[in-house]
Structure 1
Amino acid sequence: MKKRNLGEGVFQICNGLVLLLVSLVTLYPFLYVIFASFSDPLKLMGNSSLLLKPLGFSLGAYKKVFLNPSIYSGYMNTVFYVTVGTLVNILATCMAAYVLSRKQFMLRRVLTIMFIFTMYFSGGLIPGYLLIKDLGMINSRLSLILPGAVSTFNLMIMITGFEGIPESLEESARIDGAGDWTILFRIIMPLAKPTIMVILLYYAVGHWNAWFHAMIYLRDADKMPLQIFLRDILTRSQLGAMTGQTDVEDVGQTIKYATIIVSTVPILCVYPFIQKHFVKGVMIGAVKE
């Protein structure tokens, strides 16, 4: 091993300092939200400097959030939508990507163009609502799962990942008598695991944060996801603070940060289990030989 000269050492130190600064800048907004959610509202209102620790200590904002009985049903509904919705998304996307990645499929180019067209043009909100209504899915959990079963952006990533698998594996499997379903589920999908895990994370985060379609299509409160209830709590706290209602004014400044923590931390816990696949999955197809 050659000894590093002085210039290389200085570069490494500067590079480390820059990366550390970038990490702190990236991490600080999240730390600010955590500190603010536990801070005393009155002290937080009077603070105009950097927030490096909680100002006092108060759980009033979290009490306002969790004393709402709808929060728990919202959590259960969101877990259902994330679990079932992501499963449907992955299966539908993998099946579509398998078909569109087969070079011998004659309609491959036509169907790919049709999928890509939907990335740039859509019918809009009213036609979409009328379609869901005609399909009988208004106030149905299916309205949050089936219409978005396939994301074109994720489909393109999946197609690229499937195309990177050698065709010789499929040919040898067909010689042994394997059909398309066997090839997809026992050969293609296991080999494309990094890509699938990345797409799974994208879909799961999308379902976890979704609230707009639930607000439009659902009517019953017992079917609403968590984000709808958190939005209602935040809206009521802001209106109460504006009208001077003392029962919400005292936590009006911190409840918005508490809702962010409640809605963000659970999905963040999923990332460490997928992190090892993330870089490899998103880089598939970036380099061609």
Structure 2
Amino acid sequence: MLSGVKETKRDKIFMFCNYLYLTIAFVLVAYPLVYILSASISDPRVVSSGEMWLFPKEITFEGYIKVFENSKIWNGYLNTIIYTVVGTLINLAVTIPAAYAMSRKDMVGRNFFMAMFMFTMFFSGGLIPTYLLIRDLGMIDSMWALILPSAASIWNIIVSRTFFLSNIPRELQEAAQIDGCTNLRLFFKIVIPLSMPIIAVMALFYGVGHWNSYFSALIYLNTEDKYPLQMVLRQILVLQEMTAETGGANATVASALNSKAEIAALVKYAVIIVSTLPIIIVYPFLQRFFVQGVMIGSVKG
């Protein structure tokens, strides 16, 4: 409120409702994060029994020790980093030039190409035709099956195109061309340096998508050594659920499954924390670009 302006009863009620809403939203968002962090350093029996519901109990770091000792987890971590870095670079190499080309009013047929792009947002071939295509291209059980089919997001191209339309003046392009600047040099020397906000936003969008992706790996990868971290985490969760089906198994099998399930329960939350750390670390450095790029690319134009 402005200084010197007296708040009415209605204003006070409105502000109270705002603070109440923000408090509830904060609790809903913060509780899962605190719970997972507490569960990662608590005894799994205490967690599964429900005794631990917020703060850690019977603190143990055995889960993190198991994570650091598990070669599958570190191999999945390395695979995920490779898939994320390579995939994001390819995404940017496709999205940014395509969006810039669609923003140029002197591009012949740009409305037709934009319409074709938009068509793919609403209609796709489906899972089985896509799998057959990936198989015929010889990309089954390779990282390219996870990267190339999602090389560009049409929505991200539209957002980037709006950014270029709003922030790269046509007069700047004309002045550069009068000075003898080619289109390629204009793009790399002028447009790219002026487009860092939207590039950072696109890198964050694509990077988070690659980092959290597991379905494509589930469909296209057959070798465990190529599994990303999210697939390793999924295996841990599936292994823990198998304990509910050991009733009809013999004592040896049940004992082995229970032993593995205890280890899975121990490392489950630790793996979740470890797998989200890179995104949490990178986000603050991209936050200022994120807000600027999203607002300009989504609102203006």
- Same fold, TM exceeding 0.5? yes
Partner of 1:261: 273
- The structure-2 alpha-carbon separation of the partners of 1:11 and 1:274, relative to structure 1 and needing over 3 Å to count, comes to farther
Q: Distance in 2 between matches of 1:177 and 1:249?
A: 68
Matched ranges for 1:36-185 at <5 A = 36-47=39-50, 51-164=53-166, 165-185=168-188
2:183 counterpart letter in structure 1: D
- The structure-2 alpha-carbon separation of the partners of 1:99 and 1:233, relative to structure 1 and needing over 3 Å to count, comes to same
Partner of 1:283: 295
- The structure-2 alpha-carbon separation of the partners of 1:288 and 1:201, relative to structure 1 and needing over 3 Å to count, comes to closer
1:143-199 per-residue CA deviation (whole Å, 9 max, x = no partner) reads 222221111111111111111121111111111111222122221222121111111
Partner of 1:200: 203
Q: Is structure 2 residue 233 aligned with structure 1 residue 221?
A: no
Q: Distance in 1 between matches of 2:43 and 2:21?
A: 34
- The structure-2 alpha-carbon separation of the partners of 1:242 and 1:55, relative to structure 1 and needing over 3 Å to count, comes to farther
**How many Å apart are 1:240 and its aligned residue?**
3.6
Contact 1:77 1:224 in 2 (8 A): yes
Greater mean alpha carbon deviation, residues 65-74 or residues 248-257: 248-257
Q: Distance in 2 between matches of 1:26 and 1:137?
A: 39
1:81-119 per-residue CA deviation (whole Å, 9 max, x = no partner) reads 111110110111011111111112121111111111111
Greater mean alpha carbon deviation, residues 248-257 or residues 226-235: 248-257
Q: Distance in 2 between matches of 1:227 and 1:91?
A: 25
Tell me the matched-pair count: 288
Identical-pair percentage:
45
Q: Distance in 1 between matches of 2:224 and 2:263?
A: 25
2:279 counterpart letter in structure 1: I
Q: Distance in 1 between matches of 2:266 and 2:84?
A: 28
**How many Å apart are 1:204 and its aligned residue?**
0.1
Q: Distance in 1 between matches of 2:39 and 2:162?
A: 43
Q: Is structure 2 residue 4 aligned with structure 1 residue 3?
A: yes
1:189 counterpart letter in structure 2: I
Contact 1:234 1:255 in 2 (8 A): no
1:209-231 per-residue CA deviation (whole Å, 9 max, x = no partner) reads 11111222223333221111121
1:29-81 per-residue CA deviation (whole Å, 9 max, x = no partner) reads 211111122222222233278x3311221334444444431111111111111
Q: Distance in 1 between matches of 2:92 and 2:55?
A: 41
Greater mean alpha carbon deviation, residues 137-146 or residues 264-273: 137-146
What's the TM-score, normalizing by structure 2? 0.86
How large is the Cα RMSD of the aligned pairs?
Answer: 2.5
**How many Å apart are 1:6 and its aligned residue?**
4.4
What's the TM-score, normalizing by structure 1? 0.89
1:3 counterpart letter in structure 2: G
Counterpart pick for 2:25 among 3, 10, 22: 22
Q: Is structure 2 residue 198 aligned with structure 1 residue 186?
A: no
| Runs of at least 5 residues in structure 1 that lack an aligned partner in the other structure | none
Matched ranges for 1:247-258 at <5 A = 247-250=259-262, 253=265, 255-258=267-270
1:5 counterpart letter in structure 2: K
